[in-house]
Amino acid sequence: MFEEIDDHSWDAIDVLLPEQKGRGRPRADDRSTLNAILYVLTTGCRWDDLQSTQYDHCYTTAWRRLKRWEEQGVLKGVLDALVANGYSKGVVKMDSLSMDSTTIPAKKGARWSATTATRGLTGRRYTR
């Protein structure tokens, strides 16, 4: 089940988000946009399904903001702030965290090289 960012967490995150430039149309609310991003990432729904949810965003706004914040390193700071907030509340503990191959890629163990790509199952090089 998805939970929106509460006021205490938002206070820690708000200062980390870049401010809007002085020109142009006012951008969509940061808190609502971040909740929309987290909704998509948590539920696994498609970006264009946002319009049929409580987050009445143009899905491209949320997707572009996610991409820009990721490239600028903003999301790393947001994650650190949320984890610190969880520690202060006592709801996040190191023994309750886990990672699997959906967050960290599993390595196959073999190294790829041009030589291994040209060998067949018998180990002999392909020849014409």
Q: Where are the domains of the chain?
A: 7-92
Nearest to 82 by CA among 2, 1, 16: 16
pLDDT the model gives residue 1: 67
Handedness of CA 36, 38, 42, 47 (dihedral sign): positive
| Burial (CB count <10 Å: 0-12, 13-18, 19+), residue 82 | middle
pLDDT the model gives residue 70: 92
pLDDT tens digits for range 66-119: 999 999 999 898 888 878 877 887 777 766 666 665 655 556 664 544 444 444
pLDDT the model gives residue 67: 94
**Mean pLDDT across the chain:** 75
pLDDT the model gives residue 80: 85
Q: Calculate mean pLDDT across residues 31-44.
A: 88
Q: What does the radius of gyration of the chain's CA atoms come to, in whole angstroms? A: 21
Q: Would the pLDDT of 121 be above 60?
A: no
